Amino acid sequence: MMDNRDDWPDAILEGDLDSVDGLDAEVRRSAELIARDARNMNAVLGAMADRVSEGLPQVGEQHAAHPRRRASLRRWAFAPLAAAAVVAALILVRGGAIDERSEPDPSAGVPRAPSMMAEMDVEAVRPFVVFPTTDPDIAVVWLFNSEDSD
Q: Which residues bind another protein (CB under 8 A)?
A: 33, 36-37, 39-40, 42-44, 46-47, 116, 119-126, 128, 131, 133-135, 137-143, 145, 147
CB of 136 vs another protein, minimal distance in Å: 9
Cα 83 from Cα 51, distance rounded (Å): 10
d(CA 145, CA 73): 25
Residue 64 or 94: which CB sits closer to another protein?
94
Instruction: Give least dist CB 33 to another protein, A.
Output: 6
Smaller CB separation from another protein, 6 or 61: 6
Nearest to 74 by CA among 86, 62, 61: 86
- CA–CA distance from 21 to each of 7, 12, 24, 39, 143 (Å)? 17, 11, 8, 20, 34
Beta carbon of residue 62, minimum distance to another protein (angstroms, whole number): 33
**Closest to another protein by CB, 25 or 59:** 25
HEC readout, 38-95 = HHHHHHHHHHHHHHHHHHCCCCCHHHCCCHHHHHHHHHHHCHHHHHHHHHHHHHHCCC
Least Å distance, CB 131 to another protein, is 6
Output the smallest distance, CB 134 to another protein, in A: 7
